[in-house]
Amino acid sequence: MYKKEKLKPFIIQCMVMKLSEDESLQYLKDRGFKISIQYFYRLKKQIKESRLDRLSLIAKTQFVDQHLERIDQLELVNQEMWKKYREKDYKAMDALLKIAELQTYISPFYDASMYVMQKQVESNKQVLQNETEKDSSLSTV
């Protein structure tokens, strides 16, 4: 169980990088996980099936943490950029600017996660309501 939970983020990385079977197994092996192809596919399926749970976790717990982390990172980048500016280290300033720009890509994904979760909850409520109405209409027949 513990190994499986440590392994899942690496399998997600394989999925994100669109690695082949062989590349995925090698990637995992290089990180200390020697597993069978069957186990790889089993975990990959579990990950795909739990995607709404992952979004829910982000929406419930990690959203606030990520928002605060973005603020902290941008404040740090701001301080470091002024420091590098005074030192006339323009190469470091460029790198810091790229880090700051990355934040503009990450934040909308967390916003979108909240939106997706809200829509999923609404959809689930509608399905449940329709099933309840269908069951009650069948019971009166």
3-state SS, the chain, equals: CHHHHHHHHHHHHHHHCCCCHHHHHHHHHHCCCCCCHHHHHHHHHHHHHCHHHHHHHHHHHHHHHHHHHHHHHHHHHHHHHHHHHHCCCHHHHHHHHHHHHHHHHHHHHHHHHHHHHHHHHHHHHHHHHHHHHHHHHHHCC
10 Å CB burial of residue 11 (0-12, 13-18, 19+) is: buried
Q: Residue 110: what residue type?
A: Y
This prediction has a pTM of 0.50
The model's confidence at residue 104, banded by pLDDT at 50, 70 and 90, is confident
pLDDT tens digits, 12-50: 999 989 999 999 999 999 999 999 999 999 999 999 888
Q: What is the mean pLDDT of residues 102-109?
A: 75
